[in-house]
Amino acid sequence: MDAYTSFASVYDTFMDNIPYEEWAEYLIGLLKEYGIHDGLVLDLGCGTGNMTELLAQVGYDMIGIDNAEDMLEIAMEKREESGHDILYLLQDMREFELYGTVKAIVSICDSINYITEEEDLLEVFRLANNYLDPKGIFIFDFNTVYKYSEVLGNQTIAEDRDECSFIWDNYYYEDEQINEYELSLFIKEADSDLYRKYQETHFQKAYDLETIKGLIERSGLEYITAYDAFTKNAPTKTSERIYMVARECGKCV
């Protein structure tokens, strides 16, 4: 089954432990540090629009792209409630298209790790460079090899809520540097005490910092810096999530 189909309906329920407001504060701080105070910003891999909404709330003109239709439907419901003028596009980030350029592109919540082939990720970076304004900024995060191999790998995560529960089995394949998520969902039927079971499989690629830097440089983007997530510290061997900052560097590549 495709990822983020059945899970989309309960995604926000299980992600309620993520401090999106704090993450947004950190991301907005980075954008402003590089002169992005307003204007068009693309949220690449926007999911249900949590970060997209928070960026729109502080005045950015937002575009959200995701390839999961069910997730975008929830994002558009949030747009109706908030009244924010957000453009959502159902596209694969490996071949996304815009009508023009944007001041900045952001991609968080390890969306980059869903690109499991290096050549595909290189194309994502090339497209980012192509659709950024001159000297525009690309900020994204990714989960590290350490996180998959030492924290998530071969672990089982389970949560039980009133209306739904899940069992999330992780299998890390060291040679391929791929983490497989086997997700079993139990979602309560409307007007019933019965729960229906759904299953999804997700795959994420573990990237190291040097590989990401190399792909950035090959793409035509200019590598600026990397941070241990939510800090201004340099990444370490035990960093679980790294934030990258890159800059548009011409359209000749």
Reference 132, options 249, 6, 30; nearest CA is 249
> Given pLDDT bands bounded at 50, 70 and 90, which one contains residue 13?
low
Instruction: Taking residues 215-243, report their average pLDDT.
Output: 97
Reference 177, options 115, 242, 122; nearest CA is 115
pLDDT tens digits, one per residue of 94-135? 999 999 999 999 999 999 999 999 999 999 999 999 999 999
Judge contact between 7 and 185, C-beta under 8 A: yes
Same domain, 49 and 79: yes
Reference 111, options 156, 35, 44, 199; nearest CA is 44
Judge contact between 204 and 178, C-beta under 8 A: yes
Tell me the whole-structure pTM to 2 decimals: 0.92
Same domain, 60 and 129: yes
Same domain, 106 and 226: yes
Same domain, 58 and 96: yes
Q: 197 vs 15, 90, 99, CA distance in Å?
A: 19, 27, 41
- What percent of the chain shows pLDDT beyond 70? 92
Same domain, 136 and 151: no
CA distance linking residue 192 with residue 17, whole number of Å: 27
Number of domains in the chain: 2
Same domain, 180 and 107: no
Look up the domain containing 123 and give its range.
Answer: 6-143+207-247
Whether the pLDDT of residue 5 is over 70: the answer is: no
Instruction: Taking residues 168-180, report their average pLDDT.
Output: 94
Whether the pLDDT of residue 11 is over 70: the answer is: no
Kindly report the length of the chain: 253
Q: Is residue 253 part of a domain?
A: no
Q: Is residue 1 part of a domain?
A: no
Whether the pLDDT of residue 171 is over 90: the answer is: yes
Reference 107, options 52, 179, 185, 153; nearest CA is 52
CA distance linking residue 102 with residue 66, whole number of Å: 17
Return mean pLDDT, the chain.
91
Same domain, 163 and 118: no
Same domain, 236 and 183: no
Judge contact between 248 and 241, C-beta under 8 A: no
What percentage of the chain's residues is helix, strand, coil (to nearest 5)?
35, 35, 30
Count of other CB atoms within 10 angstroms of residue 97: 10
Same domain, 124 and 231: yes
